[in-house]
Every structure is written in structure tokens, then in C-alpha cells.
Structure 1
Amino acid sequence: MLTDENLDSGPSCSKQIEEVSHTEGGEDLTIPAEQSTSTTNVLSRTSSTDTCHNIRVPSPETTTVLLSDTDSSDDEENTWKKVLFPQKPDLDSFDSIPLQSRQFFPSRTRPVSYFSTFFNEDVIELIITQTNIYAEQNRSRNWTPVNSVEIKAFIGMIIMMGINPLPSIDLYWSSDPFFRNNEIAAVMPIKRFTKILENLHLNDNKEMPSREAPDYDKLYKIRPFLELINKACQNNAKNTTSQSIDEAMVKFKGVSSLKQYMPMKPVKRGYKIWTRADSATGYVFEFDVYTGKRDDNTTEVGLGGNVIKRLTKKLVDERFQGHVTFDNFFSSYEIMQHLYDKGIYATATVISRKDLPHFYKKSNKGKNLKLDRGEMKWRTKKNVAFVAWQDNKIISFLTTAFHPKLDKTFCDRKQKDGTKKAFQCPLAVLQYTERMGGVDRFDHLRSTYEVSRRSKKWWLRLFYFCVDLCIVNSFLLYTTNKRVHNPLSQLHFRLSLARGLINGYTSRKRSLESEPQYLKKKPKMSTNIQKKIGVDEDIRLSNVGIHRHEKIETWRRCRMCSTKTNNKRSKIQCSTCKVALCVVPCFDLFHSSD
């Protein structure tokens, strides 16, 4: 039993003030009067409504098991003690600022306007300049410099391709109507699209430092682009008071020193991107591509605290007051205390770190703790609390926001007979579950209609990631805009965005209606091989009665009998197949299977 005699007196408990006795789970806990009010508020607030993720206050009909923390037999420790927090955070303030845009958007603002705040004119100008420079440096054949309108149309096309994915790009221009997408094919010919994709570039290769140079950057080819997107993400939305930090994976199986192997992740091979996002919506405020070894000959593996410091630096500069959640890869006592000293509350899981309570380290990371389900052991050190709670297995947390003894709730667990039983658990468990999923929410929205495609260029996957990031962030600002009634789904938002970027642009010299249904050059064949017609047989041979003669203005080569050595031309074409044919005998031969 935990009483006044084995509860060490901390700095906040040494004041000569009136004490109020609370009873929890059969044991008395002595709490200073100045903290008793806030404790009662926390417990009453937790009990007022049911909570999500199977964690809630039990109803009278639910079997309830109240279990106390069984730590009265633990050895005394010099640094980690059973004392109350000196701080008293206002838990309601962690949800006081939801996601909201820094700019004013009227109710009828089109999706392209939201997207343009992220993919702004600076980004477009960077792509135009560097793409034209790269094409000139490589002396790309038949190259025509790109402009702003064409680049926006190009981005719109790849967004449409993400909505309607096909195995290869050329199928969007296929003569087979099953694959062909007229809305994409009408923007530009496939040769122009692939030419832009071939020369797409984001930084000048001639100015790239050598690998031996002290200022060498592994991300040089895409660094200016990443900085512009990062800046736009931070400038377009106000910081929310609840954020999470986690890693996002970008799939890539090619050759790159940046590629990571994560066998336990859904995306096992690819680029690792540290991400800070809003806990509730998944809006990404800041991201950082993991590059492995750094200039000081150390790696970020095992040094997750450095990642937390980098991603929270701007929050510290803005005097951010809120809560940040992250997992055991980043957590340690030092980083938790560092964030608290900077005014940021935090909660994180923890598994194996040096500076943890002695009872946890000597029990093989909690595996040898003999606790019943719902029991816990806890300690505090300065402003950081450690708690090991027994669920199906031991789960350990570090927190500066939720005291494990004062802030408690209940969680339902299904039994073997199908009934549910409520077990006591620290409030930190509930709050971690609710606030940790920000990056996962972003990943879910990104992967639904992602624009990414296979490429031999290692940086192109990161470019596609940034395009998806801008779409998701603009979609979240759109859906959280209270002026918008009946908002679009992400599917229709992306489609409207793509059409807005294309905006009726076409680089074709003639319309699709006057174009034949073949776009590829005929392959070279020997004379003893039957000539390929170029029109699918399902169209050419079905409903022959609807195939009629149609006069055209210019002479075109007969699709049936014209060859390199015998050029035959006609002013008659089939009204359905849209190919030129001699009236006799080619027209009948073309539409027969013999």
C-alpha cells in the first residue's frame, strides 16, 4: 500500500499547506491541497464521456477491476522517486488550437487555389529554370523550353494518373479504348510528356560540390525544392497544440545510399522521412529526409533525440505551448526533460534506455515484473514520469504531462468468454493512443491516390512525395475550412485540382477527333509477316455496318496497302476507325477477318 510514509516528498510537497486525502484502489494517497482541485478535475473530466480506442470509463453494467500500483516493495532509488509533479499542466489546452489556415479562403475557393499556396510560383519557376538548363546541358533533341502553363498541366496530368493508375505511361495514349484516357491524351502527345519527364530537374548539376567537399549534400539534386515545400507547409497553417513526430517511408527499390531497409514496416525498402504532423488531421508542418551518416561521423540510428530537437526547433523559437507525442525510437529521459525546459509537454513510449528506473532495468525491460493486468509501477525524476503498465504485456511510457498516479482512466478488454472487463490504466495510455497517429493519418491520405511511379532517377520518388504532401495538406486546409459546406472527397478534390492545373491547356496541333487511333510507329517487319493493322480487332471487325466512307481534307497514306516502297494515299477514311483507306479494295479488306 502506498501511504504518506513511503511517498517521498518532492519540491512541490514540502510546502506547509493543508493536505487532502484521496483513496484510489484501496490505498491512501496524500496530495497537497493546491493540487487536489486539479486532480479532481482531471478525474471528473476523464469520467464524463466515453473515450475512443477501447479506452473509457466503465458503465455500471461493465465489470470493473480496480488495481493499485504494486510498488511498495521496490527498492529505494536515488534519482527516480515516488513524488508528484512540480508542474500542473492544463490538459484542455492541448486541444485548444485546431488546424486552421493562415490565409482567408472564401467558401467557393477552388482546390487549385489551396494547392497553389504550397506549389507556389517560386516552386514552378524553380522547375522551369532547372529543367530548361538541364535540357540545354544534355543537348536534348527536339527540345522546346517549358513554361509555367505547361508545367502546371504536366503536374495535373500526373495527378490524374494517380487517380487512374495504369501499368505503363504509354497506355494513357493507347489506341485501345479500354486503356486510353482522352482527358490526359488531349493535353499533350506522349512524346512531349516523356520528353518533359526525361529532362525534369530541380538543381544545376554543374554547381554540385564534389563528394570530398565539406559542403557536399546527398540531397543536392532536390534540396532547393525540399526547402521551398517545407517553408510553405510551415507558413500556410498555424501550429496546433497537439502534434506527433514519426517516420514516413517512401518506396524505392533502386540504387541509392539513402535507401533504408525496415523489415517490420509495410514499405520495407525506401527513403526514411522524419515528419512532424498535426495529431488530429495529419497535416505535415515539417519533414526531414534521413541521409544517414553526418559530418561529425555519427549516425542518426539510436540518436532519435537529435531528430526531435531539429523538428521542434521552430516550435521552440515560436514559444510553442502544447503537447508532442513520439515513439520509443526517439524517447529518452534527456529529450523529455529538454522539451519540458523549452516549454513543450511530451508523452512517448520507451523500451530500452540507460536512464530509467532501477526496478525496470533489473526486470529485463519489464518482462520479469509480476503484475496483474491493470497494475502499474511508476517513478518520477524532476519533471518526467515513468510508468510501466501491464496490459497483455508490459507497456512503458515517459511523460511530462500526465502523472501516472493522479491521471487515471479505464480501458475495456475482451475476455475469452466474449464479455468485456474494464481495467484501470494511466491517462497517458489513452492520450498517447489518441495523439500519436498524426503521421499515420497523413500516410493513409497520401497512399490512397499517390502520384508516385517507378523511376531510375533516385530523387524522383522524393519529388512525387512532395507533390502528394502538397495535395494532402491543401485538402486538409480545405476540409477544415468552416466556410466550406459539403466539402469534396479526396478523390473529387484531386480530380478538380488536376483539371484546374490543366485549365484547358493543350500543346496538340490538331484535335483528337481528327487523329487516327494509332500513335506508335509501325515496327519493322519482313515481307512474309502479316502487316499489323493498328486498330483493335474488336473495333475493326464488329458492327461492320456502321463503318462508312468519310471524306477528309488532306491526302493520307492508306492504312492497308501503303508501304515504304509503294506510297498509296487517299482522301477517304473510315468514319469509325478514323484511318485512311482506298475505296477499292482496301476498305472492304480492312473490315474483314479473311
Structure 2
Amino acid sequence: MAKDRSTPSTIPQIRDSSGNLLTGSTLINERFANYFKDLYTAQSEFDRPEAEIYLSEIDLPRLSPDDREMLAAQITLEENYDGEPQGTSPGSQRTGRALTLRKSPTSVSFEGTPQKVQRTCRGKFLSAADHPTNYITRKWHPTNVPEMKAYVGLTLSMSINPKPQIKMYWSRDLYHNAPLYPAIMPRQRFELLSKFFHLNDNSQDVEHTNPSHDRLFKLRPLLTHLSAVFMDVYTPHREIAVDESLVPFHGRLSMKQYIPSKRARCGVKIYRACESGTGYTFTFKIYEGKDSILQPAGCPEYISTSGKIVVDLLNPLLHQGYHVYLDNFYTSVPLFKFLFSVQTGACGTVRANRKGLPPQVVNKKLCRGESYALRSEELLAIKFHDKREVMMLSTIHTEATVLATSRTEQRTKPEAIVAYNKNMGAVDLSDQVLAPYLLRRRRKAWYKKITFFLLQMTMHNAFVVYLKTATTPTSQQMTFLDFQIQVHKSLMYSPG
């Protein structure tokens, strides 16, 4: 028996003003498009009784004549666009016009000024919280500290157990089976937490055009907390290296940088001051764009932008006799003189076109293995020819040379170059330790990518502190992999 495909009896058939039945989908769509156009613009009278009957059957939202008249009225300047009407105080009665649409217990209810309603009707999406029938909203329930610890532990553990897709961690297939993940948290709950993962209240952020807009607003609470903790729990040794790391990110972002010398090449740049020998990150700063304003406390105006980055990172260590090692991106004569004035020695490679370098050193021709140096008060300029010519500035060393041993030969080199080679790789050391365990899954949200990179950087800092305070032979021999596993377990199994 053929299936009846006629229009259900509960919904009346649509006819035109002459009583003719409308059978074509184009005519019906056009008729209701005109109806809703009039409904939300209130530009003509509603003389379509057949449409009214249809709407009453399917229970679509409708506007009363008063609401249509209110929407059609001209918007006055006295109404406040962003909240309470001007001239009223919290708790007082609103004098601005309001609009309420109601139909059934599961319908949407809006309250607000006409401007907000009109902006919504022009295409601004409503949040999932405004739709009680939304699938995601129905499944959501508030989280707590133990659940968030388990979520972070599961996410970090994926760096040790990588899989191509998230759903494979919850797969029942023996080839992909990982019983730990479904035992800790259902997959739907993990995906919900990932979707709604935020570190700050977005409603408190200002518009991008506002001069006070913070580009790192989404990360600000985490950045503030980690910066304070890193400086509080550990005091680094004298030698410090300043360099940058690159967090891989290929999405659209104004802060994104392209650095061909880095393995990731494209991503978000993080400046770091790390302890030589361990790679402990003492201070860090995320690059916000070339138009960002940076003015560290006590830093002279004549210092270049790259120099101000160094001063900002070293600000907690100034006046304490630390030695900092830099590459040629940061090194300059004014910066080294300023650091020396605040009792901080500096050593680094320098570009030959930097202002203030003595031309005798820049133009000196050397054979392989030769070096040449000039001193001006506290500042020493050195040129050395090994495989190629390299220039150094230092306020720490003398022009003395030492015997340096390589894998194939022994050669005399200036002590400044030997010290630089020994202490400059602190940031690279930290990156090398983290490289096998980085979360490489692509994310659309840039702040989530940076968040978990910072958490893994925190993991390495915690490992350094753990080794420094270890008292038993077993704990002193723990590897970074074993340390991560123990931390992941403590997060996932934490009672609170």
C-alpha cells in the first residue's frame, strides 16, 4: 500500500486571497517570507488570515500590535545601548521600552532595549544558554575543581599517548582501546569541557577598538598567576639566558609570527628568561604585536624595543649581580651600558651594523683562529674568526683566551665566546626537553593552545624544583617522563 504523502490534517492548507490552493513550495515560501518581513518591520497591515491560522497551529512566535508599533517607532538618543536607561540607578524602575516574546514553556524569552533586539534580528547569534532546547545546553551541568583537575590531567596525558582523533581514546576497539580515559570521564563530558574551556569572563572584555583593550585578556589570570609563582618558588643561579620560543599556531591571529629559524616557523612568540644549566623559566612575556606599548619601570626611553623586552624580563633580577646572555636580536651598546649601571652583567653576539660599535673592530680582517678586542670603560668588543667571523659585546669578561676542546680538535678562543656557548642555550634546553611531549593537536582557539603550552612549561619548572629538592637516590634519578606520569595521575585521581 502506498504511503500517504499528503499534508497532515493538523496543519491547514494554504490558499491565496481568491481561495486558490497554493501547491508550489516557491509560492508558499514567498508568502511566508513576506509575512515575517512585515512581522518584524511593522511596515504594513496584517491582512493574511490564512497565515494567522497556520501560525496558530504550529505555535510560532508572534508580535502583538503594541509590540509592532514599538518596533516601528523611532529610536531616541535618550535610550542607553548597553544596559540601564540614562538617569536611573540600580534597583530603580526602568523607563526604557522593553520587548517580551513568549509562547510555550520551551520558548525563547527576550528582554531588552529595542536596539539590542534589532541587532539580534540583523544576524547576531544568541548564546547556547538562551536556548533551553539546545543539545549542548541540555547535556551541560556545572563543573567543579576535581573534575577540572581530571580534565587537565587527561589532556596533558594525551601528549604521552598521542592518537590522531580524540574519540579514539574512548574507542572500544581493541586496536585503540585506552581504558583509562572512559574510567575517568565520559567522552561527551570531556568534549563539553573542551568546548566551554575559558580562563576569563568574556563579558568583562572591552571592544577591540577600545585603547584599553588587552589582547591577552583570555589568558590574563593564568599569566598573572604563573608569573608570580615562577618567581616565588625558585631562585635561579647567576647565569641567565634570554631568548624566545614559538608556540605552533596556523590560525588567524594578529599576534602570529613567522620565524624561519624555528622548527614550527609559524606561531605565537614567547620571550623567556631561563636559568642556564637547567632551563628553568623564571620570567616570560608573550609577544602582542608590533604596535603594543612596552615601558618597563626604570627603563630609559633611548633603549630600543628589543632592549626593553630584556629589561622587562630581568626586572626582578636587577641590582643583584646576575649575568645575562643574549643573541644578536637584543644586544646593543645602550642596553649593555644600562644593565651594567644596575649591577647586571651582559654578554652576547652583536650585529656588525649596530650603532656605537668601534669601526676598528668591525673592519678588522682576521685569519681563522685569530681574535681582536677593544675596551671602552666597562664595555668590551671582540671579533673572532672561527668558521666565520663573529662579533661579541661583554661587560663581564676580559679579552683573555682559553683552550676550548671540541669533538675533533682543541683551539684557543676568547673566554667570552666559551662562556656564551656554555650558557646561552637555556631556552633551547627547555624546548628540547618539552619537544617530545608537546600537545600537537590543532586547535582553532589560540588561547587554548597557549594555555596548555604554559602548563607544560610549568611542568618542566616543577621538575627542576623537584630535582633540586630531592633527598633520596630514587627521586634524584627520576626522569621527566616519569615525573609527568606521576603528576597526571595525581590530577586525575585527586579527590578535591
Q: With structure 1 as the length reference, what TM-score do the two structures score?
A: 0.57
Q: What's the secondary structure of 1:387's corresponding residue?
A: strand
- Which residue does the alignment assign to 2:453? 465
Q: Distance in 1 between matches of 2:178 and 2:373?
A: 61
Q: Is the 8 A contact 1:160 1:184 kept in 2?
A: no
Structure 1 residue 297 displacement after superposition? 10
How big is each residue's C-alpha offset from its partner over 1:502-524, in whole Å with a ceiling of 9 and x where there is no partner?
A: 11779xxxxxxxxxxxxxxxxxx
- Which residue does the alignment assign to 1:329? 329
Change (3 A) 1:359 1:222: same
Q: Distance in 1 between matches of 2:494 and 2:409?
A: 61
Question: Residue 430 of structure 2 is aligned with which of 442, 447, 469?
Answer: 442
Count of equivalent residues:
356
Q: Distance in 1 between matches of 2:293 and 2:170?
A: 51
Structure 1 residue 324 displacement after superposition? 0.8
Q: Is the 8 A contact 2:237 2:275 kept in 1?
A: yes
Question: Residue 425 of structure 1 is aligned with which of 413, 416, 420?
Answer: 413
Q: Distance in 2 between matches of 1:329 and 1:216?
A: 28
**Alignment RMSD (CA, Å):** 2.3
Q: Distance in 2 between matches of 1:336 and 1:496?
A: 43
Q: Distance in 2 between matches of 1:459 and 1:402?
A: 42
Change (3 A) 1:152 1:498: same
How big is each residue's C-alpha offset from its partner over 1:327-368, in whole Å with a ceiling of 9 and x where there is no partner?
A: 10000011111111000111101113111011244x3xxxxx
Question: Residue 241 of structure 1 is aligned with which of 217, 238, 242?
Answer: 238
Q: Is the 8 A contact 2:361 2:374 kept in 1?
A: no
Q: Distance in 2 between matches of 1:466 and 1:138?
A: 35
Q: What's the secondary structure of 1:230's corresponding residue?
A: helix
Q: Which AA in structure 2 matches 1:490? A: F
- Which residue does the alignment assign to 1:120? none
Q: Distance in 1 between matches of 2:131 and 2:346?
A: 51
Q: Distance in 2 between matches of 1:445 and 1:135?
A: 41
Q: What's the secondary structure of 2:236's corresponding residue?
A: coil
Structure 1 residue 158 displacement after superposition? 1.1
Matched, 1:497 2:492: no
Change (3 A) 1:263 1:455: same
- Which residue does the alignment assign to 2:403? 410
How big is each residue's C-alpha offset from its partner over 1:381-412, in whole Å with a ceiling of 9 and x where there is no partner?
A: 221100001101111110011111xx320234
- Which residue does the alignment assign to 1:278? 275
Q: What's the secondary structure of 2:375's corresponding residue?
A: strand
Q: Distance in 2 between matches of 1:314 and 1:466?
A: 20
Q: Is the 8 A contact 2:159 2:438 kept in 1?
A: yes
Structure 1 residue 478 displacement after superposition? 1.1
Q: Is the 8 A contact 1:410 1:423 kept in 2?
A: yes
Give unpaired runs (5+ residues) of structure 1. 1-133, 364-368, 415-419, 507-594
Matched, 1:386 2:381: yes
Structure 1 residue 377 displacement after superposition? 1.3
Q: What's the secondary structure of 2:217's corresponding residue?
A: coil
How big is each residue's C-alpha offset from its partner over 1:270-325, in whole Å with a ceiling of 9 and x where there is no partner?
A: 01100001001000011000011235599xx9731111111111112xx3212111
Matched, 1:480 2:468: yes
- Which residue does the alignment assign to 2:86? none
Mean alpha-carbon deviation: is it higher for 369-378 or for 152-161?
A: 369-378
Q: Distance in 2 between matches of 1:250 and 1:163?
A: 18
Structure 1 residue 192 displacement after superposition? 0.3
Q: Is the 8 A contact 1:150 1:505 kept in 2?
A: no
- Which residue does the alignment assign to 1:264? 261
**Higher RCO structure, 1 or 2 (CA under 8 Å, sep 6+):** 1
Q: Is the 8 A contact 2:336 2:395 kept in 1?
A: yes
Q: Which AA in structure 2 matches 1:314? A: P
Q: Distance in 2 between matches of 1:231 and 1:413?
A: 40
Q: Is the 8 A contact 2:149 2:494 kept in 1?
A: no
Q: Which AA in structure 1 matches 2:357? A: L
Q: Is the 8 A contact 1:452 1:464 kept in 2?
A: no
Matched, 1:292 2:295: no
Q: Is the 8 A contact 1:332 1:350 kept in 2?
A: yes
Moved over 4 A (4+): 134-140, 295-298
Structure 1 residue 138 displacement after superposition? 8.7
- Which residue does the alignment assign to 1:173? 170
Q: Which AA in structure 2 matches 1:207? A: Q
Paired residues for 1:137-216 under 5 Å: 140-141=136-137, 142-216=139-213
How big is each residue's C-alpha offset from its partner over 1:242-273, in whole Å with a ceiling of 9 and x where there is no partner?
A: 11100011000111111100112111000110
Structure 1 residue 135 displacement after superposition? 7.9
Give unpaired runs (5+ residues) of structure 2. 1-126, 296-302
Change (3 A) 1:349 1:137: farther
Bigger helix share: 2
Change (3 A) 1:413 1:157: closer
Q: Which AA in structure 1 matches 2:341? A: D
Q: Is the 8 A contact 1:385 1:403 kept in 2?
A: yes
- Which residue does the alignment assign to 1:314? 316
